[in-house]
Each structure stands twice: as C-alpha cells, then as structure tokens.
Chains A and B, each alone.
Chain A
Amino acid sequence: MRRGDRGLLAAIAAGGAIGSLGRYAVARAVPAGADEFPWGTFAVNISGSLAMGVLFVWVLTLDRPHPWLRPFLGVGVLGGWTTFSAYALESRGLVVSGEHGLAAAYVLGSLVLCVAAVGAGVSLGERTFGRRR
C-alpha cells in the first residue's frame, strides 16, 4: 500500500462489486449448460469491451478528470463486468462436451468481436465526445 492507495483501491473494489453484480444478474438470467453456447458471458464481454472504448475516449476529452474516475469505471466496473476466467472455463466445457464447433465459435468469436468492439467504442466515443486530445 502506498499513500493515496486506500481511496483508490476502495473505488476499484466498489466498481468491481457493481460490475460483478451485473455479470451475476446476466448469468442468472441467461444460464448456459456446459454443452450450450454461453450467450451471457459472450454478451457481457462484448458490451464491456465496447464500453471500454467509449470510456477511453471520454476520459481523454475531459479537462481534468478525477484521478479515480478511470480506475473506478475501467478497472473496477468494466473489469468486474467482463471476465476471462468464465470464458476459459466455458470454452473447456464446450470442448469436453464434444461441441467443438461451438467451442471454436465461442473462443474465436469472443476474441474477434471484443477487439472489434473496442474499436467501435472508440469511434462511437469520438463521434459523441469529439476527437481525443
């Protein structure tokens, strides 16, 4: 711990709890068996990547953003909302269930669409908030 860490880490923890609660709600609403395409995690990761792109631009257009703003929203909320561990576990589940096509679609689809979603989010952010400084 360093000076100023306590508030910063608390902001990240609060953001992480909020984002994770949202992910939990999606997982409850759209449950997927081990042999089914994990639509919930898929949607969570793509939407979080899109939001990350928008956030990146938005923070850069602010005059003097609060130093906790990006950690709270980016590291906390979006980091808690999206997840890599469930993605890895669900991919394993699909492979073990013999659903190789779904596994490939999920593994590659998540990667391609999430990276593309960041780019889309950056474009969206620039159209909404103006060019990055």
Chain B
Amino acid sequence: MIAGASVGAPLRFLVDRWAREHSAAGTVLGTLVVNVAGSFLLGLLSGWSGRPWWVMPLLGMGFCGALTTFSTLAFETWVFFEEREWRPFLANLGLSLGIGAVAVVLGFWAGSAL
C-alpha cells in the first residue's frame, strides 16, 4: 500500500506539472487526466477476478488511491465558483464525472475479460 502510494502521489505531481507547462487548461487538465486514468485502472483491477491478493493494496488502494485526488478537484472547482466562471465550473464537474464514470465502467469491463 505504502509502496503504491509513494509512486502514485509523485506521478500525479509530474502529470500536473506537465499539463501546466503544455496546456492552457493547465492544472485542471492534469487533475482530470490522473483521475480518469486512476479510475480506469481501479475499475480494471476490480473486474479482474483472478488477481493475486497483493494487487488491490499495492495498485488499487495505494497507487490508484494516491494517483487520483478529490481535494484538488474540489479546490480547482471552488476557484471557478469563487471567480464566477460558470462555464469552466460546470465543465470541470461534468467532465470529471462523465469521463470518470466511463473510465471506471470500461476498466471494469476490460478487467473482466482478463
């Protein structure tokens, strides 16, 4: 669990920094990417019925748990709210929710096929 988290958290930072430097959407895009990727992977691991016992603590709870974040998503959404930027506010919530849901469902489905 600790090993997975120790990789997931810094990887989230690196993805976020990459997004800040390469996209106008910046940190919001970085958060979306890690959350969607982590949701897909966690869905896949959950759907994989033959997974070894150590997969869930290491990669599920640890890596995916630390790779994804709710506090930063909530913070960035709150900033849009406070600055009355309603379109980015709604887009951030809608995209996180929509793509996150598709990712976890697709991941679970892919994991079931393993």
C-alpha spacing A111/B105, complex, angstroms: 19
CB atoms of B73 and A20 under 8 A apart: no
Measuring CB to CB, which residues of chain A are less than 8 angstroms from any residue of chain B? 8-9, 12-17, 19-21, 23-24, 27, 45, 48-49, 51-53, 56, 71, 74-76, 78-89, 91-92, 107, 110-111, 114-115, 117-119, 122
CB atoms of A51 and B71 under 8 A apart: yes
C-alpha spacing A21/B8, complex, angstroms: 13
B1-50, CB < 8 A from A:
1-2, 4-10, 12-14, 16, 35, 38-39, 41-43, 46
CB atoms of A89 and B104 under 8 A apart: yes
B71-92, CB < 8 A from A:
71-75, 77-78, 81-82
CB atoms of B61 and A24 under 8 A apart: yes
C-alpha spacing A34/B102, complex, angstroms: 18
Q: A12-B9, A24-B1 are known contacts. Are A82 and B70 too (CB-CB below 8 A)? A: yes
Contacts of A80 in B (CB 8 A): 5, 8-9, 65-66
Contacts of B41 in A (CB 8 A): 85
Measuring CB to CB, which residues of chain B are less than 8 angstroms from any residue of chain A? 1-2, 4-10, 12-14, 16, 35, 38-39, 41-43, 46, 60-62, 64-75, 77-78, 81-82, 93, 96-97, 100-101, 103-105, 108
Contacts of B60 in A (CB 8 A): 85
Q: Which of A51, A52, A88, A122 contacts B43 (CB 8 A)?
A: A88
CB atoms of B2 and A17 under 8 A apart: yes
CB atoms of A27 and B75 under 8 A apart: no
C-alpha spacing A30/B54, complex, angstroms: 21
18 A-B pairs whose Cβ atoms sit less than 8 Å apart in the complex: A9-B13, A13-B10, A16-B8, A16-B66, A17-B5, A20-B4, A20-B9, A48-B70, A48-B71, A49-B70, A75-B72, A78-B69, A80-B5, A84-B35, A91-B101, A92-B43, A114-B71, A114-B74
